[in-house]
Structure 1
């Protein structure tokens, strides 16, 4: 079974507060046996999909057969009744990433992957343990980013309304709105509550930006990947090919605050950097479901350093885990978010949609990073003052004033020296010399 053909998404059910959704758009719309005049058919269809595909055969210790009897025994007078019942039914799985989307929410999810959205520029999920709404990361150059909202902040109020018990879709419906209108978010950061009044805007997203950087070691390529949307692989390929034409000696790939996206996007991009080796394997309730590997078509074999942080999630972790385990790159920064789940997203007969957790993924060495994340080879945490400087002027991200980037350039210099600065005739994984770990800094 090829994952790249199944409309699979990975991640924290990250939702762009602009249009719903995560991770992606390779959505597989199946013709479902659905009678629009019978809301009970929708309830049964959702139950059947979970029964056939859910990652845990015990359904997280829930008697799924009893759930069917309970919910199909109810009367339903409208689709709204069915929608409410479906959400109640899915809540019993205690899995915030398996979720139902009404037609509007499902349409929003599809719109999100087109590269343009309207909102404040936040990527949200529901924390698995606390059930609170958590910020995965703000999108650069958006109202949320400029206001200073950070990854791992909790949203506790939206325009004064408590978010306790609120799921991600409900939050998105409250936060979204017409461009030019305002929304106030109350954030919990540690023990401090902060109010942010944000103006909604239309946001155009280009997932990749790149540039050539002059350094004492020579010219290097800097590539920043913001999310794994449907156009990310093409933009990444164009970036690498452009920098190769300029004869760079090595690369810094910046995955910080990248919340993830399409599974096939992470695989395609990994193949641009890896000549050989496993990229990712996925495991469902029956065991290993699929294994994806490099295809001997790497675009470059030059030394590579990857920047990661707590906002690097899902597809970012697949890519960075593959590069780390295959000793193709040195990872610098802080521990990643820790989201190792795969969802299948499919349309239902009435235009609604369902995201189902069908598998977990493992890095090439067999690591299950869910809830743990990936530990960088070189730990370097930015102080709050340093983060503030970068937020206020994003042109400093990936500049010498960005301490993590500066460290990446330093390590890349060592990697280039270790390789002799010469490109091998055939692309092979770079030999990684891991620097001594720098203790994490906390201020």
Structure 2
């Protein structure tokens, strides 16, 4: 999708006009006659339906059905037709504007909890906190929820029954319009900067420039760029952000229906000048994949996480004469190395599963030497700074367990599962392997997640320090 559809739609119109101008007059007349004939056929069918159908039909419904039918023949999940109301809603979603209470939720097979509370949101004002477990929404238990219980119009109220520190509390929250920050930043240690881009809104490039300046002023010597869960947005916004990393070079290649590859060049940009680590996951899509591919292929970043979504197609927003909008795939794009990853995704340089483990790995690559994690099975702080994720805390049979993925990341070890012997194996950079079996209770498996007894882990990895606060049910993990 483009920030301004006019650039591409005008270019496409120009190409069409050019091709028609060189068409023989007789052929042009024949094409016009064929088009008129086919249009007459559509009108004829519509008249029959209106006149003879015993159920009764609405002309606007017929027209919308015909349009949707034409688009469906494209077999393109990214092309669609919006009426004026739908178009406005779509543009709001691209700009991260919606009506809600301002929380990010984490769904598990057994529970629903709040992973993040947006500053200044109705949820924060009502007293909700990250880590709260939502038991009921308007009296509906989690097991019976269909996923849209929090939705509603601005000004309406929603009642949440929440569990916090073993006690149940009720919160009444008023829904309101939410405008999510597209770019946020944090500093860890003395000079490791973290910037997250949640979407490529119209203003995200300006926001990124401002946050990057703040990080430079704070002494940034390396950067972790988090593009996880970023499903895209305006492509020229992504290009403007790429120009903060690339002084001169190819950002991507595009191709329209002709199939000819055209380089999208960055000129007059600036070199980032510091090591960069990019975080991706399966929801890193479209414009965020374009930025990832540009930084990777220009050898400006190491990619950490999981394979991205795989949407290497660009949509133009084409205004209709009646105020509606057609969102149409008009181009495909390839990375600077001419990789077409559509439906495939971009593979990371270092594959890591799990939010906390991905972040720890990225920070280590960025040069953060001293890392302290605190939290439980819902929340995560790294060196006192709040992040999405958790340490996977489990207290069972007088033993304290933590996520195997997190422990592997902290000790910079590779993680593997030995199915035959039912044990998790961590292999250090020096090639030394340590196993923790389910039979010995050194490891447990809960909801598909493997956790390791910290006492057993400490014996094999003495560099790890840990402590457990039973009063707060809080775990602290440190590696120096």
- The TM-score range, normalised by the shorter chain, is 0.5 to 0.7
The 1:390/1:383 distance shift into structure 2, 3 A limit, reads same
1:334-367 Cα distance to aligned partner (Å, 9 max, x none): 1111111111112211111100111111000011
- Selected match of 1:79 from 23, 44, 60: 60
Structure 1 residues 284 and 69: CA distance shift in structure 2, 3 A: farther
1:130 corresponds in structure 2 to none
d(CA) in 2 for partners of 1:277, 1:294: 5
* Residue 210 (1) aligns with residue 161 (2): no
- How many residue pairs are counted as aligned between the two chains? 315
Matches of 2:408 and 2:298, distance apart in 1: 22
2:236 match: secondary structure: helix
**Mean Cα deviation higher: 295-304 or 350-359:** 295-304
Q: Counterparts of 1:29 and 1:106 in 2: how far apart (Å)?
A: 19
Offset from partner CA, 1:47-97 (integer Å, 9 cap, x none): x99xx9xxxxxxxxxxx9898675344336633331222112211222221
CA distance in 1 between counterparts of 2:145 and 2:314 reads 34
Shift of 1:324: 0.7
SS at match of 2:260: strand
Question: Larger Cα Rg: Structure 1 or Structure 2?
Answer: 2
| Alignment partner, residue 215 of structure 2 | 243
Distance in 2 separating the partners of 1:359 and 1:148: 44
**Does the CA-based 8 Å contact 1:179-1:201 persist in structure 2?**
yes
For residue 464 of structure 2, what is the aligned residue in structure 1?
Answer: none
Cα gap change, 1:360 to 1:249, in 2 (>3 Å): same
Work out the CA distance in 1 between the residues paired with 2:357 and 2:156.
30
In the alignment, does 2:99 pair up with 1:90?
no
Question: What SS class does the counterpart of residue 243 from structure 1 fall into?
Answer: helix
Determine if the alignment matches structure 1 residue 230 to structure 2 residue 211: no
Answer yes or no: is the 8 Å Cα contact 1:283–1:359 preserved in 2: yes
2:170 paired with 1:180 = no
Change over 3 Å in CA distance of 1:176–1:319 after alignment to 2: farther
Unaligned segments of structure 2, at least 5 residues: 11-15, 21-33, 48-57, 105-113, 124-129, 135-143, 160-172, 360-374, 393-402, 413-428, 431-447, 450-480
Post-superposition Cα deviations, 1:282-327, rounded to whole Å, max 9, x if no partner, equal 1111023632122242152111111111111111100011111111
> Does the Cα contact within 8 Å between 1:307 and 1:331 map onto a contact in 2?
yes
Q: Distance in 1 between matches of 2:9 and 2:255?
A: 26
2:236 alignment partner in structure 1 = 264
CA contact (8 A) 2:238 2:291 kept: yes
Cα distance change on mapping 1:69 and 1:139 into 2, 3 Å: farther
Task: State how far apart, in whole Å, the 1-side matches of 2:4 and 2:376 are.
Answer: 37
- Maintained 8 Å contact 1:118/1:179: no
Q: 1:352 to 1:323 in 2, by over 3 A?
A: same
Separation (CA, whole Å) in 1 of partners of 2:68 and 2:272:
47
- Give the whole-Å Cα distance in 1 for the aligned partners of 2:38 and 2:356: 48
- Normalised by the length of structure 2, the TM-score is 0.55
Other-structure match for 2:4: 26
Q: Bigger CA drift: 72-81 or 400-409?
A: 400-409
Task: Describe the SS at the equivalent of 2:299.
Answer: coil
- Where structure 1 has 5 or more consecutive residues not aligned to the other structure, the ranges are 1-7, 10-24, 33-47, 53-63, 124-137, 150-158, 164-170, 184-197, 412-434, 437-441
Instruction: Give 1:199 shift.
Output: 8.5
- Give the whole-Å Cα distance in 2 for the aligned partners of 1:359 and 1:91: 18
Please give the alpha-carbon distance, in whole angstroms, between the structure 1 residues aligned to 2:231 and 2:133: 17
Q: Partner of 1:397 in structure 2?
A: 387
Which of 355, 370, 374 matches 2:327? 355
Partners of 2:210 and 2:225 in 1: CA distance: 14
Any residues of structure 2 matched to 1:320-339 within 5 Å, and which? 320-339=292-311
Over the aligned positions, Cα root-mean-square deviation in angstroms equals 4.7
Contact 1:67 1:89 in 2 (8 A): no
Q: Does the 8 Å contact 1:325/1:365 carry over to 2?
A: yes
1:32-431 to 2 correspondences below 5 Å: 71-75=42-46, 78-119=59-100, 141=117, 177-180=153-156, 201-214=176-189, 218-288=190-260, 290-298=262-270, 300-382=272-354, 392=379, 396-397=386-387
CA 1:148 to 1:399, structure 2 compared with 1: closer, same or farther past 3 Å?
Answer: closer
Q: Note the alpha carbon deviations across 1:385-415, whole angstroms, 9 max, x for none.
A: 999968656864279969999999999xxxx
TM-score, structure 1 normalization:
0.59
The alignment partner of 2:185 has SS state of strand
Check 1:31–1:341 CA distance in 2 against 1; reply closer, same or farther (3 A cut): closer
Higher relative contact order (CA 8 A, sep 6+): 1
Residue 201 to residue 318, structure 1, CA distance change in 2 (3 Å): same
Q: Is this contact kept in 2: 1:305–1:408, CA < 8 A?
A: no
